[in-house]
Structure 1
Amino acid sequence: MIKTERPPFQIVRGYVVAPRNPQGTREGYTTGASAAAATQAACRLLERDERPEFVSVPSPLGFDLVIPINRLSYAEGTATAGVIKDGGDDPDVTHGAEIIVAVRRVDRPGIHIQGGTGVGTITQPGLELPPGSPAINPVPRLMIAQGVAIALATEQPDPGVEVTVSIPGGEELAKKTLNSRIGIVGGLSILGTTGVVRPMSTASWRASVLQSIDVAAANSLKHIVLTTGGRSERFAEAIYPALPEMAFVQMGIFTGDGLRRAVERGVPKVTVCGMIGKLAKLATGQMQTHVAGGGVDVAFLADLARDAGADEALVAQIGSANTGRHVEDLIDAAGFTKLYEQIAARTAAMCQAHVKGVLTIEAVMFDFDGGILGRASVDARAELS
């Protein structure tokens, strides 16, 4: 367990104050932490008629999160609490959603967690929970159970406690996520491994890429398509209409992670799709293509153009270009489309080299309207495949 001395949330004059990180953005808390807070508050109401305005939720990072309670009610043996999920400055569809937990005593000993309205159901293998389970991930389940234990001072209540987690409007919000693609239907997921949302964190994006590949592999897909975003994914779907939706994974900047996961899960073929800016970076061997890693290496593209037989005037123009799109304009104006094939071929080769030759790799470069500029593939090395 990672420890930290700095509690990220504290109460100041009756208000919960979340800190700002060195970049000046405000942190938040996860849906899992929200559910744990609501669980603890509801149990305190159920057992001791307490109505806390705030509760302290232990984070797996080793500190407590102070989380405000939005609502509390009791009727016919069931206590209900609600928490407004606060993602801080992180853009997330769950920010502002209310996580509602209803608790009641049941005859069976122990803690029984189930999903209510707006919480999705897992329908495909390859996730952390089996098909048929509510989409409440393992760490949030532990945090919810801990909330019960804190309130009741026992980890194995007898009679037991049934905990039902709901998200009003969750089914509609889930349409803005990729849940249905990875086999989570009917609502949102209760997520989080630390309880804390780090603004603009790429960790959750990377996790979703790996999870999507896990699901594709668990469903015996032999070919997945990694795209740099929604637009390139739409273009890729048009050239691979026979592939199921789960075969398409928006990898974003995590090309290297996606390729390695495909190897780990035994997926033999990967197609990498994108526009010139991203593929030009991959062609240099840059497997994490965040903008912070720098712009397109136009000097590399100029050298590639020279090796492909471009005249020196075009080479010089490419070498002084501003962006990848500018390079594309120059290539089109000169009619030297051979360079697109070279970029695609280098991209495929570098991606394959990244995984030591064990994948068959295809690279597809689109223009900004979905036309194919360049396409190349390299087969897995026979002695390694």
Structure 2
Amino acid sequence: MAGETTGGQVAGGTPGGRAGQLKSSGLRHGWTTGACATAATTAAYTALLTGEFPDPVTITLPKGQQPAFALAAELLADGRAMAGVVKDAGDDPDVTHGALIRSTVRLGPPGSGVVFRAGPGVGTVTKAGLPIPVGEPAINPVPRQLMRDHIAEVAGRHGGAGDVVVEISVDHGEEIARSTWNPRLGILGGLSILGTTGIVVPYSCSAWIDSIRRGVDVARAAGRTHVAGCTGSTSEKVAVAVHGLPEDALLDMGDFAGAVLKYVKRHPVDRLTIAGGFAKLSKLAAGHLDLHSARSQVDKGYLASLARQGGASVELTAAVAAANTALEAIQLCSAAGVPLGDLVAAGARATALDVLRGAPVAVDVICIDRAGAIVGRA
């Protein structure tokens, strides 16, 4: 899953809502759905009070940047104003890149303040454990506050009371949300409006990590005492088959083993299963907490040393060290009756326990091959 990120150094806003340039990486940063919703809301409320849409519309982000956003849609009629902004995620592979985020604003009763509604394509929270109460639109706290601040600013400038109903919608949002964690987290009907800084930092992976944390929160709130961090859909199926876990106990860990372990350390459950491919879990066994191929590699020398500990001959140990892939290494060992898979699982469990550092969490590890067959357990 790709998604919004929530931090990082940026060069500052650029006109027209176009993504800016990251100072250090040369990649373009982008804007979160929360920033886009705030820009659309600011423009819509301004038009409701003045009859004119500011285009581009400038907002102030939590860290002081002031990007300007071009409007892609405008409507002023029947006591309401609608403005739309196309999200630009910069160079991040964000599933919401290019989505049209709309805000429709109408006046509310005196003293009502700002009331948020979920329009088409924005989800509604149906499970406890998220930062928004059950029944509320899936608009996170920081974007809510950002919109409130800008509504108050527009009201002060143009003589409004600031009592409004704000409906956020995302074109095709329900379809896009199927590519996110939202259905599993109990956010139904569409996307979440996210962001803590307003800025998407390419490949910072914080959105995925945030989803892992929310997954743990939802599982705990549902009373789950056993969760599974899985590297992919095949390992999820294996974890379900072995342990009979419900969907809301499954964490889409991907490559972020460290994120799961560090969060579970602070928010313990009785039991954590780590399930994944043999090659990825061999990296965890070797002490790597980020299992992505760009940031850690399978250490076949380490596999060879494990094989030797498991009774491999000198010749087999050398063959494992020279193996082309981790798959070849475990096939060689399996054929010789050397339990390399179990040894890798034990090593991965040892790394996990080291990260958990005495937290009251029981850990088991399941290693699988590409076909989903279990090749090691600890």
TM-score relative to the length of structure 1: 0.90
Moved more, 103-112 or 73-82: 103-112
Match of 2:4 in 1: none
Equivalent position amino acid for 1:345 in 2: A
Map of 1:335 onto structure 2: 336
After superposition, the C-alpha distances for 1:192-227 in whole angstroms (9 at most, x for unaligned) are 111111112211111111111111011110100001
1:213 counterpart = 2:216: yes
Map 1:1-385 → 2, pairs under 5 A: 6-10=11-15, 16=18, 18-20=20-22, 22-109=24-111, 110-153=113-156, 158=161, 160-240=163-243, 242-332=244-334, 334-357=335-358, 358-376=360-378
Whole-Å separation in 1 of the counterparts to 2:202 and 2:173 = 22
Aligned mates of 1:47, 1:352 — CA distance in 2: 59
Matched residue SS, 2:133: coil
**For 1:312 and 1:337, how far apart are their aligned partners in 2?**
13
- C-alpha distance in 2 between matches for 1:207 and 1:116: 24
Shift of 1:235: 3.1
Partner amino acid, structure 1, of 2:225 = K
What TM-score do the two structures reach when normalised by structure 2?
A: 0.92
**SS of structure 2 residue aligned to 1:291:** coil
1:383 corresponds to which residue?
none
State the 1:23 CA deviation.
Answer: 3.6
Identity of aligned residues (%): 39
Give the Cα separation in 2 of the matches to 1:82 and 1:52. 12
How far has the Cα of 1:106 moved from its partner? 1.7
State how many pairs are aligned: 370
Shift in Å at residue 288 of structure 1? 2.5
SS for the counterpart of 2:59 is strand
Higher relative contact order (CA 8 A, sep 6+): 2
The 1:3/1:119 distance shift into structure 2, 3 A limit, reads: closer
1:21 CA drift (Å): 5.2
Partner SS state of residue 194, structure 1:
coil
- Structure 1 residues 323 and 62: CA distance shift in structure 2, 3 A: farther
Displacement after TM superposition at 1:308 (Å): 1.0
Shift of 1:5: 8.2
Specify every segment of 5 or more residues in structure 1 that has no aligned partner in the other structure, as ranges. 377-385
Cα RMSD between the aligned structures? 2.2
Question: How far did 1:296 drift?
Answer: 1.1
Change (3 A) 1:348 1:155: farther
Shift of 1:344: 1.1
Aligned to 1:379: none
- Tell me the CA shift for residue 258 of structure 1: 1.1
Cα distance, 1:77 vs structure 2? 0.6
**In the TM superposition, what is the alpha-carbon distance from 1:251 to its structure 2 partner?**
1.1
